[in-house]
């Protein structure tokens, strides 16, 4: 147990430093691109912090691809019945020993949970090493994930719920693509908008709706079978973190839908009141889309009242 986790940590760290000091500093300086060295095109005016962020984002992108396909295979291609009762029985196993045996009986689930745990540890190492360069909420998110995954892998409790939630990673490659398209000044291109629409759609379906459904059947089964469980604490921790996770998904869905609505629907079809309203959304929420915090909405309200009322 956890051997794959440490391999994952090492693989992520090695990939990160290869991208940072071999690809960026050596290979890109040897490759021509648009009449100059690729390094000069991509990194000549970039500081060290941004270079590190680029390397970290590429590792995140690779993890998202590996994690998503593995989780999807473990959840949807294992001959399970696609019914509420079937998934509820997989998510909630009252006896810890039975839950742990179910985890061991599914090596695909165990492998990809450990891969993602290793990635969480890797990312947390970078957050701590370069403390202050990332939002503190991301650090807490990773710490909560590490605690949840360790509990799930050590006890088997909630392990199927975890791998099911890990299918959410299918939307992340499009989020990372947005970052690089933004960096490379491609925001006016059609494929930038296509990437955003795909990301928003996947986020809404795979994170908000699917996660809420999982949370619902988890809670329903937990309440109805409460006195059958022999490790209520482990399930309680999973419920607390899972509830927070679902709330956060809907918060980001709210922001992503604002983005899609504001940029897909033409502004000039609205009245002056609605024009000011949507310009306000553009001013704060859209500009900080996928990167901000709830405090942005306070500034958006202030901007709206200042310009309209």
Instruction: From 123, 122, 111, 220, select the one nearest 166 (Cα to Cα).
Output: 111
Instruction: From 250, 225, 232, 57, select the one nearest 155 (Cα to Cα).
Output: 232
- 227: which DSSP letter? G
Contacts of 188 (CB under 8 A, 6+ apart): none
Give 306's pLDDT tier (boundaries 50, 70, 90). very low
Give the tens place of pLDDT for each residue, 14-73: 999 999 899 888 888 888 877 778 777 777 777 788 888 889 999 999 999 999 999 999
Give the tens place of pLDDT for each residue, 119-149: 999 999 998 888 777 778 778 878 888 988 9
Q: What tokens appear for 266 in the block? A: 């033409």
Give the tens place of pLDDT for each residue, 175-192: 888 888 887 777 788 888
d(CA 58, CA 309): 45
Give 112's pLDDT tier (boundaries 50, 70, 90). very high
pTM of the shown model = 0.77
Say which residue the tokens 């300086």 belong to. 29
pLDDT of residue 15: 95
DSSP assignment string, 58-72: HHHHHHHHHHHHHHH
């Amino acid at each position: 147990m956890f051997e794959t986790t440490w391999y994952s940590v090492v693989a992520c760290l090695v990939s990160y430093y290869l991208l940072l000091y071999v690809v960026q500093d050596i290979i890109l300086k040897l490759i021509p691109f648009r009449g100059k060295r690729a390094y000069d095109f991509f990194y000549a005016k970039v500081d060290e912090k941004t270079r590190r962020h680029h390397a970290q984002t590429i590792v995140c992108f690779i993890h998202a691809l590996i994690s998503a396909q593995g989780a999807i295979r473990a959840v949807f291609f294992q001959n399970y019945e696609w019914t509420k009762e079937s998934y509820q029985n997989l998510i909630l196993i009252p006896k810890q020993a039975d839950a742990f045996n179910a985890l061991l009986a599914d090596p695909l689930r165990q492998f990809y949970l450990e891969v993602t745990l290793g990635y969480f540890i890797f990312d947390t190492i970078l957050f701590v090493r370069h403390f202050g360069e990332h939002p503190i909420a991301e650090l807490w998110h990773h710490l909560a994930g590490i605690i949840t995954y360790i509990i799930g892998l050590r006890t088997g409790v909630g392990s199927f719920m975890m791998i099911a939630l890990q299918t959410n990673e299918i939307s992340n490659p499009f989020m990372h693509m947005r970052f690089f398209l933004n960096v490379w000044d491609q925001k006016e291109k059609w494929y930038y908008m296509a990437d955003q629409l795909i990301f928003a759609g996947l986020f809404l379906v795979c994170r908000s709706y699917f996660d809420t459904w999982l949370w619902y059947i988890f809670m329903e089964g937990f309440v109805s079978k409460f006195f059958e469980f022999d490790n209520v604490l482990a399930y309680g921790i999973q419920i607390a973190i899972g509830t927070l996770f679902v709330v956060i998904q809907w918060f980001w869905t709210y922001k992503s839908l604002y983005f899609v609505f504001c940029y897909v629907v033409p502004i000039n079809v609205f009245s002056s009141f609605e024009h000011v309203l949507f310009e306000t959304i553009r001013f704060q929420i859209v500009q900080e889309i996928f990167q901000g915090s709830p405090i942005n909405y306070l500034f958006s309200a202030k901007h709206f009242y200042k310009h309209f009322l």
